[in-house]
Amino acid sequence: MKNLAILGSTGSIGVSTLDIVAEHPERFRVITLTAGRNLALLEEQVRRFQPLAVAVLCSKDARQLKQSLGAAAPEILSGVEGLMACACFPDVDMVVSAVVGAAGLVPTMAAIEAGKDIALANKETLVTAGPLVMAAVERKGVELYPVDSEHSAIFQALEGHRKGDVRRLILTASGGPFRNRALAELKNVTPADALAHPNWDMGRKISIDSATMMNKGLEVIEAKWLFDLPAERIAVHIHPQSIVHSMVEYVDGSIIAQMGIPDMRAPIAYALSYPERVPLNLPPLDLCSLGQLTFEEPDLSRFACLGLAYEALKAGGTAPAVLNAANEVAVEAFLEGDVSFLDIPVIIRAALDEHQPQPLEQIEGVLRADRWARSAARRFIHKSAT
Protein backbone atom coordinates (compact mmCIF):
# COMPACT_ATOMS: atom_id res chain seq x y z
CA MET A 1 0.00 0.00 0.00
CA LYS A 2 1.39 3.41 -0.94
CA ASN A 3 0.23 6.38 1.13
CA LEU A 4 -0.29 9.55 -0.88
CA ALA A 5 -0.44 13.28 -0.27
CA ILE A 6 -2.02 15.05 -3.24
CA LEU A 7 -1.17 18.75 -3.42
CA GLY A 8 -3.63 20.40 -5.79
CA SER A 9 -6.28 17.66 -5.65
CA THR A 10 -9.04 19.64 -7.41
CA GLY A 11 -6.90 20.53 -10.45
CA SER A 12 -6.68 18.48 -13.60
CA ILE A 13 -3.73 16.33 -12.40
CA GLY A 14 -5.20 15.94 -8.91
CA VAL A 15 -8.50 14.69 -10.30
CA SER A 16 -6.74 12.23 -12.63
CA THR A 17 -4.61 10.99 -9.73
CA LEU A 18 -7.73 10.31 -7.67
CA ASP A 19 -9.20 8.40 -10.64
CA ILE A 20 -6.21 6.08 -10.47
CA VAL A 21 -6.54 5.71 -6.69
CA ALA A 22 -10.21 4.84 -7.14
CA GLU A 23 -9.30 2.25 -9.77
CA HIS A 24 -6.62 0.70 -7.51
CA PRO A 25 -7.69 1.00 -3.87
CA GLU A 26 -5.58 -2.08 -3.10
CA ARG A 27 -2.41 -0.13 -4.02
CA PHE A 28 -2.97 3.49 -3.05
CA ARG A 29 -4.41 5.28 -0.06
CA VAL A 30 -5.02 9.02 0.24
CA ILE A 31 -3.60 10.48 3.46
CA THR A 32 -3.84 14.21 2.71
CA LEU A 33 -5.39 16.47 0.07
CA THR A 34 -4.84 20.15 -0.57
CA ALA A 35 -6.81 22.50 -2.80
CA GLY A 36 -7.15 26.18 -3.57
CA ARG A 37 -10.68 27.54 -3.82
CA ASN A 38 -12.76 24.71 -5.27
CA LEU A 39 -14.47 23.75 -1.99
CA ALA A 40 -17.36 21.87 -3.56
CA LEU A 41 -15.09 19.40 -5.33
CA LEU A 42 -12.76 19.10 -2.33
CA GLU A 43 -15.71 18.26 -0.10
CA GLU A 44 -16.78 15.52 -2.49
CA GLN A 45 -13.20 14.16 -2.57
CA VAL A 46 -13.00 14.16 1.23
CA ARG A 47 -16.24 12.18 1.53
CA ARG A 48 -15.08 9.69 -1.05
CA PHE A 49 -11.40 9.20 -0.15
CA GLN A 50 -11.48 9.97 3.58
CA PRO A 51 -8.07 11.60 4.02
CA LEU A 52 -6.68 12.20 7.52
CA ALA A 53 -6.07 15.89 6.81
CA VAL A 54 -6.80 18.50 4.14
CA ALA A 55 -5.59 22.05 3.54
CA VAL A 56 -7.19 24.94 1.69
CA LEU A 57 -5.89 28.39 0.82
CA CYS A 58 -7.64 30.59 3.37
CA SER A 59 -8.95 30.10 6.91
CA LYS A 60 -12.46 31.26 6.00
CA ASP A 61 -12.75 28.39 3.49
CA ALA A 62 -11.35 26.01 6.12
CA ARG A 63 -14.16 26.97 8.52
CA GLN A 64 -16.78 26.61 5.82
CA LEU A 65 -15.49 23.19 4.79
CA LYS A 66 -15.47 22.02 8.39
CA GLN A 67 -19.05 23.12 8.81
CA SER A 68 -20.35 21.44 5.67
CA LEU A 69 -18.48 18.18 6.38
CA GLY A 70 -19.71 18.04 9.96
CA ALA A 71 -18.90 14.71 11.60
CA ALA A 72 -17.12 13.54 8.41
CA ALA A 73 -14.53 16.34 8.68
CA PRO A 74 -10.85 15.31 8.92
CA GLU A 75 -8.22 17.68 10.28
CA ILE A 76 -8.67 20.87 8.23
CA LEU A 77 -5.77 23.26 7.82
CA SER A 78 -5.19 26.42 5.81
CA GLY A 79 -2.59 28.65 4.24
CA VAL A 80 1.00 27.83 3.35
CA GLU A 81 1.47 26.18 6.79
CA GLY A 82 -1.47 23.89 6.07
CA LEU A 83 -0.08 23.02 2.66
CA MET A 84 3.33 22.25 4.19
CA ALA A 85 1.80 20.15 6.96
CA CYS A 86 -0.12 18.08 4.40
CA ALA A 87 3.04 17.65 2.28
CA CYS A 88 5.07 16.46 5.29
CA PHE A 89 2.30 14.49 7.03
CA PRO A 90 3.48 11.37 8.93
CA ASP A 91 2.97 8.08 7.05
CA VAL A 92 2.86 9.77 3.64
CA ASP A 93 5.17 7.80 1.31
CA MET A 94 4.74 9.87 -1.82
CA VAL A 95 3.70 13.44 -2.48
CA VAL A 96 1.95 14.19 -5.76
CA SER A 97 3.01 17.77 -6.39
CA ALA A 98 0.32 19.24 -8.63
CA VAL A 99 -0.17 22.78 -7.38
CA VAL A 100 -0.26 25.27 -10.29
CA GLY A 101 2.66 27.66 -10.72
CA ALA A 102 5.58 28.80 -8.59
CA ALA A 103 3.47 28.23 -5.43
CA GLY A 104 4.40 24.54 -5.75
CA LEU A 105 8.07 25.06 -4.98
CA VAL A 106 8.04 25.58 -1.21
CA PRO A 107 5.79 22.63 -0.26
CA THR A 108 7.62 20.32 -2.68
CA MET A 109 10.97 21.26 -1.14
CA ALA A 110 9.51 20.73 2.33
CA ALA A 111 8.31 17.27 1.32
CA ILE A 112 11.76 16.36 -0.01
CA GLU A 113 13.34 17.58 3.23
CA ALA A 114 10.84 15.43 5.13
CA GLY A 115 12.10 12.40 3.19
CA LYS A 116 9.04 11.91 0.98
CA ASP A 117 9.23 10.54 -2.56
CA ILE A 118 7.84 12.96 -5.11
CA ALA A 119 5.62 12.50 -8.18
CA LEU A 120 6.28 15.84 -9.78
CA ALA A 121 3.63 17.47 -11.94
CA ASN A 122 4.48 21.02 -10.88
CA LYS A 123 7.16 21.88 -13.43
CA GLU A 124 7.85 25.29 -11.87
CA THR A 125 9.59 23.54 -8.98
CA LEU A 126 12.42 22.47 -11.29
CA VAL A 127 12.19 25.49 -13.61
CA THR A 128 12.76 27.99 -10.83
CA ALA A 129 15.01 26.03 -8.47
CA GLY A 130 16.25 22.98 -10.40
CA PRO A 131 19.78 22.71 -8.96
CA LEU A 132 18.60 23.26 -5.37
CA VAL A 133 15.80 20.71 -5.73
CA MET A 134 17.99 18.05 -7.33
CA ALA A 135 20.67 18.56 -4.67
CA ALA A 136 18.05 18.10 -1.92
CA VAL A 137 16.72 14.95 -3.64
CA GLU A 138 20.25 13.55 -3.68
CA ARG A 139 21.03 14.56 -0.11
CA LYS A 140 17.81 13.11 1.31
CA GLY A 141 17.97 9.96 -0.83
CA VAL A 142 14.36 10.34 -1.99
CA GLU A 143 12.99 9.47 -5.44
CA LEU A 144 11.59 12.09 -7.78
CA TYR A 145 9.42 10.77 -10.61
CA PRO A 146 8.26 12.99 -13.47
CA VAL A 147 4.52 13.23 -14.11
CA ASP A 148 4.72 15.60 -17.06
CA SER A 149 3.99 13.34 -20.05
CA GLU A 150 7.14 14.36 -21.95
CA HIS A 151 9.44 13.75 -19.01
CA SER A 152 7.72 10.51 -18.14
CA ALA A 153 8.32 9.43 -21.75
CA ILE A 154 12.01 10.30 -21.52
CA PHE A 155 12.28 8.61 -18.13
CA GLN A 156 10.79 5.46 -19.72
CA ALA A 157 13.00 5.69 -22.83
CA LEU A 158 16.09 5.95 -20.61
CA GLU A 159 15.25 2.82 -18.62
CA GLY A 160 17.89 0.14 -19.05
CA HIS A 161 20.29 2.46 -20.90
CA ARG A 162 23.54 4.09 -19.90
CA LYS A 163 23.37 7.83 -19.44
CA GLY A 164 26.71 8.25 -21.20
CA ASP A 165 25.18 6.79 -24.37
CA VAL A 166 22.56 9.53 -24.71
CA ARG A 167 23.13 12.00 -27.55
CA ARG A 168 20.09 14.19 -26.99
CA LEU A 169 16.54 14.35 -25.73
CA ILE A 170 13.72 15.24 -28.11
CA LEU A 171 10.65 16.73 -26.46
CA THR A 172 7.51 16.63 -28.54
CA ALA A 173 5.00 19.49 -28.57
CA SER A 174 1.52 19.47 -30.03
CA GLY A 175 2.00 23.05 -31.25
CA GLY A 176 -1.21 24.01 -29.45
CA PRO A 177 -4.28 25.59 -31.05
CA PHE A 178 -2.27 28.14 -33.09
CA ARG A 179 0.22 25.82 -34.73
CA ASN A 180 -0.81 26.87 -38.22
CA ARG A 181 -1.65 30.52 -37.61
CA ALA A 182 0.50 33.23 -39.15
CA LEU A 183 2.08 35.77 -36.82
CA ALA A 184 -0.33 38.51 -37.97
CA GLU A 185 -3.32 36.33 -37.09
CA LEU A 186 -2.03 35.75 -33.56
CA LYS A 187 -2.40 39.42 -32.73
CA ASN A 188 -6.12 39.30 -32.07
CA VAL A 189 -6.67 35.83 -30.62
CA THR A 190 -8.84 35.74 -27.51
CA PRO A 191 -8.42 33.76 -24.27
CA ALA A 192 -11.24 31.47 -25.44
CA ASP A 193 -9.34 30.69 -28.69
CA ALA A 194 -6.19 30.02 -26.71
CA LEU A 195 -7.93 27.79 -24.18
CA ALA A 196 -9.23 25.42 -26.87
CA HIS A 197 -6.42 22.86 -26.92
CA PRO A 198 -6.71 20.26 -29.69
CA ASN A 199 -5.41 17.19 -27.80
CA TRP A 200 -4.99 17.65 -24.08
CA ASP A 201 -7.60 18.62 -21.53
CA MET A 202 -5.73 20.84 -19.08
CA GLY A 203 -6.06 23.74 -16.67
CA ARG A 204 -6.26 27.36 -17.86
CA LYS A 205 -2.71 28.46 -17.12
CA ILE A 206 -1.10 25.50 -18.84
CA SER A 207 -3.48 25.78 -21.82
CA ILE A 208 -2.30 29.33 -22.48
CA ASP A 209 1.31 28.21 -21.98
CA SER A 210 0.66 25.53 -24.54
CA ALA A 211 -0.72 28.09 -27.02
CA THR A 212 2.38 30.32 -26.63
CA MET A 213 4.65 27.24 -26.40
CA MET A 214 6.03 28.58 -23.12
CA ASN A 215 4.88 25.26 -21.72
CA LYS A 216 7.47 23.53 -23.92
CA GLY A 217 10.07 26.10 -22.93
CA LEU A 218 9.44 25.37 -19.24
CA GLU A 219 9.64 21.66 -20.05
CA VAL A 220 13.04 22.09 -21.70
CA ILE A 221 14.29 23.66 -18.46
CA GLU A 222 12.61 20.94 -16.42
CA ALA A 223 14.30 18.29 -18.60
CA LYS A 224 17.70 19.89 -18.12
CA TRP A 225 17.51 19.43 -14.34
CA LEU A 226 15.75 16.07 -14.31
CA PHE A 227 18.12 14.43 -16.79
CA ASP A 228 21.22 16.58 -16.35
CA LEU A 229 21.86 17.53 -19.98
CA PRO A 230 22.74 20.97 -21.37
CA ALA A 231 20.23 23.03 -23.37
CA GLU A 232 22.03 22.30 -26.67
CA ARG A 233 21.21 18.62 -26.23
CA ILE A 234 17.49 19.10 -25.64
CA ALA A 235 15.51 19.55 -28.85
CA VAL A 236 11.82 20.23 -29.49
CA HIS A 237 9.83 18.70 -32.35
CA ILE A 238 6.27 19.69 -33.12
CA HIS A 239 4.14 16.57 -33.31
CA PRO A 240 0.48 17.56 -33.72
CA GLN A 241 -0.98 14.11 -32.94
CA SER A 242 0.52 14.00 -29.38
CA ILE A 243 1.05 10.24 -29.64
CA VAL A 244 4.84 10.15 -29.30
CA HIS A 245 5.21 11.74 -25.87
CA SER A 246 8.98 12.31 -26.27
CA MET A 247 12.15 10.53 -27.37
CA VAL A 248 15.74 9.82 -26.46
CA GLU A 249 18.37 9.71 -29.19
CA TYR A 250 21.46 7.60 -28.46
CA VAL A 251 25.01 7.94 -29.77
CA ASP A 252 24.48 5.18 -32.33
CA GLY A 253 21.61 7.13 -33.90
CA SER A 254 18.89 4.94 -32.37
CA ILE A 255 15.87 6.84 -31.14
CA ILE A 256 13.64 5.35 -28.46
CA ALA A 257 10.19 6.88 -28.30
CA GLN A 258 7.38 6.33 -25.83
CA MET A 259 3.86 6.36 -27.28
CA GLY A 260 0.35 6.35 -25.95
CA ILE A 261 -2.95 8.14 -26.21
CA PRO A 262 -2.81 11.67 -24.78
CA ASP A 263 -4.21 11.02 -21.31
CA MET A 264 -2.40 12.16 -18.16
CA ARG A 265 -3.53 9.12 -16.21
CA ALA A 266 -0.83 7.02 -17.91
CA PRO A 267 2.20 9.10 -16.82
CA ILE A 268 0.65 9.72 -13.38
CA ALA A 269 0.13 6.00 -12.82
CA TYR A 270 3.68 5.24 -13.91
CA ALA A 271 5.07 7.74 -11.40
CA LEU A 272 2.86 6.29 -8.65
CA SER A 273 3.64 2.65 -9.30
CA TYR A 274 7.19 2.66 -10.75
CA PRO A 275 8.84 0.25 -11.50
CA GLU A 276 5.59 -1.65 -11.92
CA ARG A 277 2.85 -0.80 -14.38
CA VAL A 278 -0.77 -0.91 -13.33
CA PRO A 279 -3.64 -1.70 -15.71
CA LEU A 280 -5.64 1.41 -16.59
CA ASN A 281 -9.11 1.68 -18.00
CA LEU A 282 -8.09 3.72 -21.07
CA PRO A 283 -8.86 3.21 -24.76
CA PRO A 284 -5.95 1.46 -26.54
CA LEU A 285 -3.70 3.36 -28.93
CA ASP A 286 -4.77 2.25 -32.40
CA LEU A 287 -1.90 3.23 -34.69
CA CYS A 288 -3.49 1.73 -37.80
CA SER A 289 -6.60 3.84 -37.58
CA LEU A 290 -4.43 6.85 -36.78
CA GLY A 291 -2.55 6.27 -40.05
CA GLN A 292 0.30 8.71 -39.70
CA LEU A 293 2.47 10.54 -37.21
CA THR A 294 4.08 13.81 -38.34
CA PHE A 295 6.91 15.98 -37.02
CA GLU A 296 8.09 19.51 -37.78
CA GLU A 297 10.51 22.13 -36.54
CA PRO A 298 9.03 24.79 -34.20
CA ASP A 299 8.94 28.33 -35.65
CA LEU A 300 10.55 30.61 -33.06
CA SER A 301 9.40 33.76 -34.84
CA ARG A 302 5.79 32.83 -34.05
CA PHE A 303 6.49 31.16 -30.71
CA ALA A 304 8.93 33.61 -29.14
CA CYS A 305 8.32 32.19 -25.65
CA LEU A 306 10.13 28.97 -26.55
CA GLY A 307 13.24 30.94 -27.55
CA LEU A 308 13.02 33.01 -24.36
CA ALA A 309 13.05 29.85 -22.27
CA TYR A 310 16.23 28.58 -23.96
CA GLU A 311 17.77 32.01 -23.37
CA ALA A 312 16.85 32.00 -19.67
CA LEU A 313 18.21 28.47 -19.28
CA LYS A 314 21.53 29.53 -20.82
CA ALA A 315 21.66 32.69 -18.68
CA GLY A 316 21.20 30.40 -15.66
CA GLY A 317 20.91 31.29 -11.97
CA THR A 318 17.72 33.19 -11.22
CA ALA A 319 16.87 33.86 -14.91
CA PRO A 320 14.48 30.87 -15.28
CA ALA A 321 12.63 31.94 -12.11
CA VAL A 322 12.21 35.40 -13.63
CA LEU A 323 11.05 33.93 -16.94
CA ASN A 324 8.48 31.83 -15.11
CA ALA A 325 7.14 34.56 -12.82
CA ALA A 326 6.89 37.16 -15.60
CA ASN A 327 5.07 34.57 -17.68
CA GLU A 328 2.58 33.85 -14.89
CA VAL A 329 1.79 37.56 -14.60
CA ALA A 330 1.54 37.98 -18.38
CA VAL A 331 -0.75 34.96 -18.79
CA GLU A 332 -3.00 36.19 -15.99
CA ALA A 333 -3.17 39.64 -17.64
CA PHE A 334 -4.02 38.02 -20.98
CA LEU A 335 -6.80 35.93 -19.38
CA GLU A 336 -8.13 39.13 -17.79
CA GLY A 337 -8.18 40.83 -21.18
CA ASP A 338 -5.57 43.41 -20.14
CA VAL A 339 -2.91 42.50 -22.69
CA SER A 340 -2.89 40.80 -26.08
CA PHE A 341 -1.58 37.33 -26.85
CA LEU A 342 1.53 38.69 -28.53
CA ASP A 343 2.26 40.92 -25.53
CA ILE A 344 3.03 37.84 -23.43
CA PRO A 345 6.59 37.33 -24.79
CA VAL A 346 7.15 41.11 -24.85
CA ILE A 347 6.43 41.33 -21.11
CA ILE A 348 8.71 38.38 -20.34
CA ARG A 349 11.45 39.82 -22.53
CA ALA A 350 11.23 43.14 -20.65
CA ALA A 351 11.59 41.40 -17.27
CA LEU A 352 14.52 39.27 -18.44
CA ASP A 353 16.29 42.27 -19.97
CA GLU A 354 16.03 44.20 -16.73
CA HIS A 355 17.20 41.30 -14.56
CA GLN A 356 20.75 40.60 -13.43
CA PRO A 357 20.79 36.83 -12.90
CA GLN A 358 22.12 35.80 -9.50
CA PRO A 359 23.59 32.38 -8.73
CA LEU A 360 21.11 30.00 -7.07
CA GLU A 361 22.17 29.34 -3.51
CA GLN A 362 19.00 29.20 -1.47
CA ILE A 363 15.27 28.95 -2.01
CA GLU A 364 14.95 32.46 -0.57
CA GLY A 365 16.94 33.82 -3.55
CA VAL A 366 14.53 32.07 -5.92
CA LEU A 367 11.53 33.54 -4.11
CA ARG A 368 13.11 37.01 -4.19
CA ALA A 369 13.71 36.77 -7.96
CA ASP A 370 10.14 35.53 -8.38
CA ARG A 371 8.71 38.50 -6.46
CA TRP A 372 10.96 40.95 -8.29
CA ALA A 373 9.88 39.57 -11.70
CA ARG A 374 6.19 39.75 -10.82
CA SER A 375 6.42 43.40 -9.91
CA ALA A 376 8.63 44.16 -12.93
CA ALA A 377 6.09 42.49 -15.22
CA ARG A 378 3.18 44.33 -13.58
CA ARG A 379 5.03 47.62 -13.84
CA PHE A 380 5.65 46.98 -17.53
CA ILE A 381 1.99 46.07 -18.19
CA HIS A 382 0.84 49.17 -16.35
CA LYS A 383 3.28 51.41 -18.21
CA SER A 384 2.24 50.12 -21.64
CA ALA A 385 -1.45 50.50 -20.74
CA THR A 386 -1.11 54.20 -19.89
Kindly list the residues in this chain that would bind Mg ion in the complex (CB under 5 A): 148-150
148 or 343, CB closer to Mg ion? 148
Decide if 201 contacts 275 (C-beta within 8 A). no
133 or 218, CB closer to Mg ion? 218
Burial track 320-337 (b if 16+ CB lie within 10 A, e otherwise):
bbbbbbbbbbbbbbbbee
**Cβ neighbourhood burial of 316 (10 Å; 0-12, 13-18, 19+):** middle
Quote the least distance from Cβ 174 to Mg ion, whole Å. Answer: 9
- Cross-strand partners of 234: 169
The CB-nearest residue to Mg ion is: 148
150 or 332, CB closer to Mg ion? 150
216 or 302, CB closer to Mg ion? 216
The closest of 275, 276, 377, 287 to 333, measured between CA atoms, is 377
Quote the least distance from Cβ 152 to Mg ion, whole Å. Answer: 9
Quote the least distance from Cβ 19 to Mg ion, whole Å. Answer: 18
Quote the least distance from Cβ 5 to Mg ion, whole Å. Answer: 22
Strands 28-34 and 2-7: parallel
Ramachandran category for residue 160: left, alpha or beta (phi over 0 → left; psi -120 to 50 → alpha) = left
Quote the least distance from Cβ 150 to Mg ion, whole Å. Answer: 5
The closest of 101, 103, 111, 133 to 32, measured between CA atoms, is 111
108 or 242, CB closer to Mg ion? 242
Decide if 65 contacts 56 (C-beta within 8 A). yes
Spatial neighbors of 116 by CB under 8 A, at least 6 apart, are 5, 87, 88, 92, 93, 94, 95, 142
Spatial neighbors of 160 by CB under 8 A, at least 6 apart, are none
Ramachandran category for residue 360: left, alpha or beta (phi over 0 → left; psi -120 to 50 → alpha) = beta
Quote the least distance from Cβ 366 to Mg ion, whole Å. Answer: 22
Report the C-alpha gap between 237 and 229 in whole angstroms.
Answer: 17
Quote the least distance from Cβ 144 to Mg ion, whole Å. Answer: 16
61 or 150, CB closer to Mg ion? 150
42 or 127, CB closer to Mg ion? 127
